Each structure stands twice: as structure tokens, then as C-alpha cells.
Homo-oligomer: A and B are copies of this chain.
Amino acid sequence: MIKTTISQVHKYVDQEVKIGAWIANKRSSGKIAFLQLRDGTGFIQGVLVKEEVPEELFQAAKSVTQESSVYVTGIVQKDERSPLGYELLVRGLEILHHSVDYPITPKEHGTEFLMDHRHLWLRSRRQHAVMKIRNELIRATYEFFNEQGFVKVDPPILTGSAPEGTTELFATKYFDEDAYLSQSGQLYMEAAAMALGKVFSFGPTFRAEKSKTRRHLIEFWMIEPEMAFVEFEESLEVQEQYVSYIVQSVLKNCQIELKTLGRDTSKLENIKAPFPRISYDDAIKLLHEKGFDDIQWGDDFGAPHETAIAESFDKPVFITKYPIGIKPFYMQPDAERDDVVLCADLIAPEGYGEIIGGSERIHDYDLMKQRIEEHHLPLENYQWYLDLCKYGAVPHSGFGLGLERTVAWVSGVEHVRETIPFPRLLNRLYP
């Protein structure tokens, strides 16, 4: 007997296979029973016609409960109507574990109930699809950066100083010292870029932010590439190529999952470099034309502004060259005018907001020192970082992409809480 998984049944058409699986759902009449089977690799429908199978097998299929674990044997058949393209004519059903009163039934449940049962909710067709798309975005990220010669570098999570204040940081005792959980590995990645050229990190980051929006998580994953000898414009090209690559990878490898989620894939097919650029100046003008009178030059954008700007484009759009006053100290001022910096945020279409923030970094020692002082930051915390301007400084640029917002956009799910296996939200630390 061939032991296989649902994702591999296409190799065994008209053959009998054995699959370890769970009963996701079932329905039956007097004459026919349908088992929705899942095994982690996918979902397949098992069919039993009463007249064609032994009576005890038909009764077993009719009485098996939701989320019972089974070894099922059956003959693989083509089935054009199913998302998978195949179904299973069930010939045997060995029940491994009989599940009683599984809490998540096919009826509707409230969000808090589902979040309390996240360890089980992940088994649902929709959550399964989102997690597979997340996985594909991760896989494609490694593939893209590895192929481009980037080196994966893991910046530390525990850091000894809280450079920009402790308000949104998680603090812990590190033996006798104070330590904080990292909000970004960027400064470390800059040091690494001077050693390894092009580097990227991909790890968890933490913001103790009291926001309760559909775009915020307390613990989220970020990709932070940093590139020596790369200036502002070239960095934008890397960003648009990267985002195109991962979106096209999902389109190529997650057709079933996108269908499960009802995602309009025509909107994703269009996501190919180059992406449009609009300056901050022009974005302000555009907002005024659209009737926004709550924003002036020098203000940062809120979510409604980002959404309104994004609506003018059918691809992600770079908003470039923000006012120096609303951006962090380390961004390189524009050589042509000193009131804006060489930065860009990438805004996703369809109201998903900012998915990337990036910039060219200052590499002049005096300017960097001056900017640290202007921001009233403690210079002693930045001694090692200033060393990068002291010893062989070079132009360099980097950016950070938020994984969960990207998963939300590509999957088309409304809230980031569904984009990470075990979300951490304000008042949500369980399970």
C-alpha cells in the first residue's frame, strides 16, 4: 500500500493509497457519505457509496466525529469540481482517536472564542490557507535574498540600552543589568553590512504599544535587509523586486489557498516591478485634492491618508522623501534640500497600509553625531554605532518589511491577528 499525503495524491490517480488524516467535516444521506479529510498538506473529499462498501465501513464513516484522527485508505480519482482536483473513493477507515465534542463546530463562533482556541482554530480551512501563504512568503524571502547574495544575520533580541526611550519597550532583568526586547535590529544590521556587504535579518520584534487596530501586533516578524555601497534609488529597486518576487511566488505556489480565501488574484497578478513613486510633497497635494483638510506639510500620515494615496495606484506605491522632522535621526538628508530625507515607505494597495519603511543611512560622522544630539539621545549609547562612521564609512541603505501586514494583504484577510500562528495583542497572551 502506498502511504502518501493529500498534496501528493495527483501522483497516484486510480491507485489505492493510505493517508493519516483528520475528519474536518462530514455529511451523509442514506446512500452516500462524504468525509472532508485534512492532513496538514491539504483537504480532500472522501466518498463512500453504501452499496459499494461493506456495511460496517459505511456505518463507521457515518458515525465518525469531527476532528477524529484516522488512517484512511482509498482510490484516488480525478474530480474537476474540487479545489484540489481529486477525491478519494474510501475503501478503509481505521479510527486512531475518537474526538468528542470538538469545540469549533461548522457554525459561526465569536472572535474571542476562536482566539481562545487558537491552538485548534489553526486546523480550519481558512487558517490553514493563511498559514500556508505565510510559509510561502517566508520561503520566497529566503530564496530571493539568498539568490541575490545576501547573508542572513541575526541581530540580538536582548539589548542593554534603550536608545529612543523605554515607553514602548518590554524590559527584563538580565542578571544584574536592565535589558530590553529589540524593536528593530537595524543598527546591528548596519554593522553587519560593513562586514558582510549585503545582509538580511528575519526575526521577531516587539512593541509594547497600546494600539488596538487591525494592523498592529505586539509581537511580529520583520525582514530587515541592509546593503553597503547601495544608495537610495538602488534600494527602492531591490524593494520592488523583492515584493514582486514574493507575491508572484504565492500566486504560483498557493493557488488552492488563495481560492479557499476567495482572494481576487487579478489584483495580485499586477504586482510586478517597477512600482510607482510619489514624493511626500505630491502626496500632500494629492490628499488636499481629495479633500483631506486635516493634514499639512510636516505632518505624518495616518491610516486613512495612506489608504487614500494607495487608491490612486493599482500597485504598491513608494512615498518618498519625508520631512526630516518626522523621521528617525539616522536617515540621510537629501543633497538637494535639507528639509527632507532619502527615505521611502511602501504602501500596499487595497487599504493594507505601510508594509515597508526604509532609507539611505547617514555615513558622515559629524552629521550623525549632530543628529543624535538634536534628537536628545544619549550619545554614550551610540558609541559603537558611531564607530561605523569612523572606520571605513560607506553609503548604505536598508529597509524593514513587516511580515504579518504582508500576509494580510496577500491573503486578503482583514485583521493581522489571523496572519501569525499565536497572535500577541493587547490583552491577548493566550494560548
Are B119 and A384 touching (Cβ within 8 A)? yes
A203 at the binding interface (Cβ < 8 Å): yes
Q: How far is the CA of A172 from the CA of B207 in the complex (A)?
A: 13
Which residues from B are CB-within-8-Å of A69? 392-394
Segment at the B interface, from A50-58, A240-248, A421-429: A421-429
A327 at the binding interface (Cβ < 8 Å): no
CB distance from A203 to the nearest CB of B (A): 6
Q: How far is the CA of A191 from the CA of B135 in the complex (A)?
A: 16
Q: How far is the CA of A7 from the CA of B147 in the complex (A)?
A: 13
Q: How far is the CA of A244 from the CA of B7 in the complex (A)?
A: 26
In the assembly, how many copies of this chain are there?
A: 2
Q: Which of A68, A120, A188, A210 has the most CB of B within 10 A?
A: A120
CB distance from A57 to the nearest CB of B (A): 20
Q: How far is the CA of A97 from the CA of B391 in the complex (A)?
A: 8
Q: List 21 A-B contacts (CB under 8 A).
A: A67-B392, A69-B393, A97-B363, A99-B390, A99-B392, A100-B390, A119-B384, A122-B191, A122-B195, A131-B153, A154-B204, A156-B219, A157-B219, A158-B170, A158-B218, A160-B429, A172-B172, A174-B208, A175-B210, A177-B429, A203-B203
Binding site for B on A (CB under 8 A): 5, 7, 20, 22-23, 39-41, 67-69, 96-97, 99-100, 102, 117, 119-120, 122-123, 127-128, 131-132, 134-135, 138-139, 142, 146, 149, 151-160, 170-175, 177, 179, 181, 188, 191-199, 203-204, 206, 208, 210, 218-219, 221, 228-229, 363, 384-385, 387-388, 390-394, 420-422, 424, 426-427, 429-431
